[in-house]
Amino acid sequence: MQDFLENYAFGVCTRLGEKLRIPTSGIRLFFIYTSFLTFGSPLIVYLVLAFVMNFRKMLRRRDNPIWYY
């Protein structure tokens, strides 16, 4: 189940955990608890981070010199 969530839930928590060297489960719990306490506002932060990560991935693919003719 956790692999499914990591593959299809944008990987924001996993990426943050790798960058900050914090366990991914702690970051997920932080998002869950703060979402309940603040009525979902961390969900907006999560979605913005997911958008930025996907945008950067798209730019890296486009800058790949293999695809230039």
pLDDT the model gives residue 15: 82
CA distance 48 to 9: 13
Alpha helices (runs of H) in 1-69, residue ranges in sequence order: 2-8, 12-20, 24-37, 41-62
Q: What is the DSSP letter of 9?
A: S
- Residue type, position 29, single letter: L
pLDDT the model gives residue 6: 58
pLDDT the model gives residue 67: 56
Predicted TM-score of the model (pTM): 0.56
Residue whose entry in the numeric block shows the structure tokens 């958008």? 51
pLDDT the model gives residue 64: 60
- Which residue numbers in the chain have pLDDT < 50? none
CA distance 18 to 4: 18
